[in-house]
């Protein structure tokens, strides 16, 4: 039976109608459950928005993965203190971004002592972490986004993340985008064997779908062998208009025959091969593992705290002149330069508080 739990969606830029459309669109594709991963560098309300939709949306059973603030007025609060507040609020997991721009901005590795208490707390609480580390290797090529030597190498970023995984053997870490290893079957296998607490999600990186095709029989075996370590994910996002196609692309990759099939997505045709997985394997990856890894039950939301945080952030934004943090955001995502982050956050909070 086709049923999907999508472990990796976003609601960038927190505009209500777009978020609601995302949820109803993917529900039409057979998605019943999904985890919203918060990225507070897009906007100060990321965590509150994820928790809000978890509380209120009826199309999907949503979970909220929190993220710590790195660029805004709360960035100086130690990460474990931020996490503690989010746990009280009722998050179901945590999202960590260790891409090259974030690494350069922060100036320290994710394995630095600064983050230790945060990881220890996540491990103690049994909260799963969706962890984006590095990017596809070609981005470091000459002329690529990370060719500049001020960026850490792919290897360095991966080593830092793996040190965290080793140090916290009971912390469930889901490396997003297959840990960008679709060109490195031996390394993927080594990590599965050496790190029993590590999982991969299948969120495109569309390069991954072509890379698998070069060695489809190998990967078919890998997917069967590690069927309990792989999680369905799409990066479906409130600011995209191909969310249904994304769900179809990832699902069909699992189930179609190893012959070629065509799926339109991101405005182009993907002509790729399926992994032709048996029903049990496909169902574990597309659905069952979500509950095995994230837990059967969602965490309850502390309503009083939710509204208290909304009031506080609204107050802080209203007291703030202009948006002094916008230039920090752009250091992490250059194309954010035209995005009115502060205004969208204000609109969101005013609407939520009015509904109360």
Cα separation of 209 and 202, whole Å? Answer: 9
Shortest gap between Cβ of 96 and Zn ion (angstroms)?
11
Burial label, 138 (beta-carbon count in 10 A; 0-12, 13-18, 19+): exposed
By CB under 5 A, the count of residues binding Zn ion is 1
Cα separation of 308 and 33, whole Å? Answer: 27
Residue 235 found at the interface with Zn ion (CB under 5 A): yes
Shortest gap between Cβ of 20 and Zn ion (angstroms)?
20
Choose the stretch contacting Zn ion; rule: CB under 5 A; options: 76-84, 156-164, 227-235, 346-354.
Answer: 227-235
Identity of the residue, 250 or 310, whose beta carbon is nearer to Zn ion in the bound complex: 250
Residue nearest to Zn ion (CB): 235
Shortest gap between Cβ of 176 and Zn ion (angstroms)?
6
Shortest gap between Cβ of 9 and Zn ion (angstroms)?
8
Identity of the residue, 285 or 349, whose beta carbon is nearer to Zn ion in the bound complex: 285
Choose the stretch contacting Zn ion; rule: CB under 5 A; options: 82-90, 230-238, 257-265, 338-346.
Answer: 230-238
Identity of the residue, 33 or 235, whose beta carbon is nearer to Zn ion in the bound complex: 235
Q: Restricting to residues 62-121, which ones interact with Zn ion according to CB under 5 A?
A: none
Cα separation of 81 and 341, whole Å? Answer: 24
Residue 201 found at the interface with Zn ion (CB under 5 A): no
Residue 135 found at the interface with Zn ion (CB under 5 A): no
Identity of the residue, 123 or 235, whose beta carbon is nearer to Zn ion in the bound complex: 235
Shortest gap between Cβ of 10 and Zn ion (angstroms)?
6
Question: Do residues 163 and 113 make contact, with C-beta atoms less than 8 angstroms apart?
Answer: no
Query: What H or E segment, with its residue span, contains residue 272?
Result: strand 268-273
Cα separation of 312 and 349, whole Å? Answer: 10
Shortest gap between Cβ of 194 and Zn ion (angstroms)?
25
Cα separation of 91 and 65, whole Å? Answer: 6
Choose the stretch contacting Zn ion; rule: CB under 5 A; options: 76-84, 228-236, 289-297, 301-309.
Answer: 228-236
List C-alpha distances in Å: 87 to 15, 158, 174: 25, 27, 19
Cα separation of 150 and 146, whole Å? Answer: 8
Identity of the residue, 201 or 283, whose beta carbon is nearer to Zn ion in the bound complex: 201
Question: Do residues 51 and 64 make contact, with C-beta atoms less than 8 angstroms apart?
Answer: yes
Alpha carbons within 13 angstroms on the beta-carbon side of residue 93 total 31
The alpha carbon of residue 254 and the mean position of all alpha carbons in its chain are separated, in whole angstroms, by: 20
Shortest gap between Cβ of 13 and Zn ion (angstroms)?
14
Residues near Zn ion (CB under 5 A) are 235
């Amino acid at each position: 039976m086709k049923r999907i739990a999508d472990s990796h969606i976003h609601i960038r830029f927190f505009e209500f109608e777009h978020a609601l459309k995302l949820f109803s669109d993917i529900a039409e594709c057979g998605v019943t459950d999904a985890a919203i991963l918060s990225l507070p560098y897009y906007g100060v309300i990321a965590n509150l928005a994820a928790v809000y939709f978890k509380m209120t949306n009826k199309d999907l059973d949503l979970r909220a993965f929190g993220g710590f603030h790195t660029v805004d007025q709360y960035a100086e609060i130690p990460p474990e203190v931020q996490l503690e507040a989010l746990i009280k609020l009722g998050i179901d997991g945590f999202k960590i971004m260790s891409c090259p721009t974030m690494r350069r901005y922060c100036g320290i590795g994710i394995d630095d002592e600064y983050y230790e208490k945060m990881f220890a707390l996540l491990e103690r609480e049994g909260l799963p972490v969706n962890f984006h580390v590095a990017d596809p290797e070609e981005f470091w090529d000459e002329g690529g986004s990370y060719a500049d030597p001020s960026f850490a190498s792919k290897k360095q970023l991966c080593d830092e993340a793996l040190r965290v995984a080793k140090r916290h053997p009971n912390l469930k870490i889901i490396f997003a985008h297959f840990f960008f290893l679709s060109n490195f079957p031996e390394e993927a296998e080594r990590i599965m064997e050496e790190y029993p607490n590590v999982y991969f999600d299948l969120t495109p990186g569309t390069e991954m779908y072509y890379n698998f095709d070069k060695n489809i029989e190998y990967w078919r075996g890998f997917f069967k062998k590690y069927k309990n370590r792989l999680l369905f994910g799409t990066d479906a996002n409130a600011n995209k208009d191909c969310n249904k196609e994304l769900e179809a692309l990832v699902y069909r990759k699992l189930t179609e025959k190893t012959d070629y099939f065509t799926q339109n997505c991101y405005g182009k045709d993907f002509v790729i091969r399926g992994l032709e997985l048996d029903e049990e394997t496909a169902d574990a990856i597309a659905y069952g593992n979500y509950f095995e890894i994230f837990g059967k039950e969602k965490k309850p939301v502390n309503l009083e705290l939710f509204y208290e945080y909304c009031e506080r952030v609204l107050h802080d934004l209203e007291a703030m002149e202009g948006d002094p943090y916008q230039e920090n955001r752009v250091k992490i995502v250059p194309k954010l330069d035209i995005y009115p982050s502060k205004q969208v956050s204000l609109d969101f909070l005013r609407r939520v508080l009015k509904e109360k």
